Structure 1
Amino acid sequence: MVSDHPPGLDPDRLRGLLDRERPGLVRGPLTGRLIEGGRSNLTYAVSDGASQWVVRRPPLGHVLATAHDMRREHRVITALGPTKVPVPRTVLLCEDEEVLGAPFYVMEYVPGTPYRTAGQLAPLGPGRTREVALSLVDTLVDLHAVDPAEAGLADFGRPEGFLDRQLRRWGKQLDASRNRELAGVDELHAALGRALPASPAPAVVHGDYRLDNVLVNADDEITAVLDWEMSTLGDPLTDLGLLVMYSMPLGMPDSPVSTTAEAPGHPAPAELIERYAARSGRDVSTVSWYTAFAWFKLAVILEGIHYRYTLGRTVGRGFDRIGDLVPVFIAHGLTTLQEG
């Protein structure tokens, strides 16, 4: 018998769990579909014909539980619910692997668009595109203004030595996927280590903050911040550096990595930095280090994807061109650090 539901999701088992844990929530048989676009964890939309919810679970056959910790994701979204940060309302966390084969959580379905490319933003026009990008900064300021202790997240991470650990972690990731000469990558890594800034007071850090990880409604309002799998307590300027990096044009048409920076009306990085500084009150004088670190981190991630592609472990559109991007990211990182 052929299954009519996506791999990793059994609607009948899910319905049984929800009927037990949240009686009356589901009114009829559940159907589900995979939501494309996530980098790592799997996301499904499920419906009983009248209402919709979202299920998040680790990838099929995952091995690193720490990298796909459903409890952490569920915890941070639940904790941020009462704050100004727009997040979906959580329904339940299930750590019983008998239900779907892995831990997962259920949250409300929030309508909205994740803008992934400049082409998708273009129909909004320059004025609306600008406002959406500025709203992204304002929402980040709201996130970093959350008091971790008041939100119940005082033990959500180890802020002491955060940047040093991050730099060492991504250096190890690079070593794990070395199979070709990459000019400048060791130079960039070493230069970042020599110029390590002193971190400001710790905040809840998203870890992958960019436009296609938020939902925007028809009124150009951010309705939900998604994909919290890399969130922790740490240096808030790492989020700003990543946002700035994604706001810099790559200068590569048809790049397999999404960027919205070239959309007409998109604010320049300097304006985004200035808005963050004005609204947060934080010193952003070292933001070039954080932006260079973001270039390095993405270069390492892309090199890992390229390495898996060369081994035949990754299939799909665009993976054959990922390797060409890595030297570009390294060069941008070196330039950003030197200019800072």
Structure 2
Amino acid sequence: MSVELNLEALAAWMRGIGEPVTGELSGTRVGQGQSNLTYRIDDEAGHSWIARRPPLGRLLASAHDVEREYRIMSALQGTGVPVPTTIGVCTDGGVADVPVFLMEHVEGTVVDDEETTRALSPEARRRLGLDLARTLAKIHAVDIDAVGLGELASRKPYAPRQLKRWTRQLGESRTQERPDLDALTQLLVDHQPESDEIGLVHGDFHVRNVIIDERSGEIRAVLDWELSTLGDPLADTGSALAYWTQAGEMPGGMFAASMVEGFPTRAEMTAEYLQASGRSGQSLGFWHVLGVWKVAIIAEGVYRRVLDNPANAAGFTPTPENIQALIDHGWDVARENGLAS
């Protein structure tokens, strides 16, 4: 795949801020991400960095803000949350027509396909699953005011904000009429929990957004903070559960690492998180359904962007059938949690 950056201009900018760039830069698209585009950047001396830029084509107004992502990851340095060291944001129009966020390259493995998943030992798989839950608890323990993120977003009740935002995203990304998705939206509106806890929410926490030690399964870095905001921490946990597919649940044939033997179950993940965080899981069913609902809307948005510009495709691209399967799964989770009959 092509690198949508002017690497010669990027090298000049990097040298200007003191980065040790030797010779010419080369770049490679990495990851399965369908939102911000991610590249590994290498120089001739073997130094490596990661660059992120917004996707190509039509962008939604509030999405793909790499400068905001840089701010969040910079604030988390030294908090105990594992994040790469941030370097800066390049706004030089000679590098790209959009801002470009540069960070250190963290060595490790991203579990984003079946081959990588099955290469892990069963012990590493279990460690990874439980470490996801513990890392989520670390994120939710961050003192947002102390690290300068207290004004990152509104502190108003989170469920109405999420429903408003993602309903708008669906309206702007919609590729066809989906009355059952609209009905699921109304179900969530009718079952909003009361919550006054506000903390840092990652917003897209799942196994493909972390770098791990492939031998131990330990998490080395959490990536992709572009959807991070302030809100109810259990929303993150619900989203993580939405991505943690179990055997017999696979929506639309999409691969999920968590189906491979050795990973903990959703119940074990939930118990690990609640123990590490000290929280009650009373409203977790609502947030699990909302998490699946969001995944369906995100998939619709990815499909919309690929229709707009095929260059945005990377790895698996959702189909209308995949999106429908996610909607069906959302209704299954709603029934399991007593939100629907």
Flag whether TM exceeds 0.5 (same fold). yes
Which of these residues, 35, 39, 55, is aligned with residue 51 of structure 2? 55
Contact between 1:125 and 1:264, CA under 8 Å: does it hold in 2?
A: no
Greater relative CO, 1 or 2 (CA 8 Å, sep 6+): 2
For 2:95 and 2:296, locate their aligned partners in 1 and report how far apart those are by CA, in whole Å.
37
Which of these residues, 308, 320, 327, is aligned with residue 324 of structure 2? 327
For 2:59 and 2:176, locate their aligned partners in 1 and report how far apart those are by CA, in whole Å.
26
For 2:127 and 2:333, locate their aligned partners in 1 and report how far apart those are by CA, in whole Å.
26
Q: Which runs of 5+ in 2 are unaligned?
A: none
Is 1:160 the counterpart of 2:171? The answer is no
Q: Which runs of 5+ in 1 are unaligned?
A: none
Contact between 2:127 and 2:218, CA under 8 Å: does it hold in 1?
A: no
Alignment-derived partner of residue 125 in structure 1: 121
Alignment-derived partner of residue 68 in structure 1: 64
Alignment-derived partner of residue 109 in structure 1: 105
Give the C-alpha shift of residue 62 in structure 1.
5.1
- The more displaced of 157-166 and 61-70 is 61-70
Alignment-derived partner of residue 165 in structure 2: 169
Is 1:274 the counterpart of 2:276? The answer is no
Runs of 4 or more consecutive aligned structure 1 residues displaced over 6 Å after TM superposition: none
Alignment-derived partner of residue 38 in structure 1: 33
Contact between 1:113 and 1:215, CA under 8 Å: does it hold in 2?
A: yes
Which of these residues, 227, 231, 234, is aligned with residue 231 of structure 2? 234
Q: How many residues align?
A: 333
Contact between 1:199 and 1:235, CA under 8 Å: does it hold in 2?
A: yes
Alignment-derived partner of residue 298 in structure 1: 295
Give the C-alpha shift of residue 314 in structure 1.
4.4
For 1:9 and 1:308, locate their aligned partners in 2 and report how far apart those are by CA, in whole Å.
19
Alignment-derived partner of residue 137 in structure 2: 141
- The more displaced of 287-296 and 183-192 is 183-192
Query: Percent identity at matched positions?
Result: 35
Contact between 1:157 and 1:233, CA under 8 Å: does it hold in 2?
A: yes
SS at match of 2:41: strand
Give the C-alpha shift of residue 60 in structure 1.
3.2
Aligned residues: CA RMSD: 2.5
- Alignment-mate amino acid for residue 22 of structure 1: G
For 1:205 and 1:282, locate their aligned partners in 2 and report how far apart those are by CA, in whole Å.
15
Which of these residues, 216, 220, 224, is aligned with residue 221 of structure 2? 224
Structure 1 residues 76 and 259, CA gap change in structure 2 (3 angstroms):
same
SS at match of 1:100: coil
Contact between 1:92 and 1:107, CA under 8 Å: does it hold in 2?
A: yes
- The more displaced of 31-40 and 291-300 is 31-40
Q: Deviations over 1:295-338 (max 9, x none)?
A: 111222223445566x675476754x621123322222223223
Give the C-alpha shift of residue 193 in structure 1.
0.7
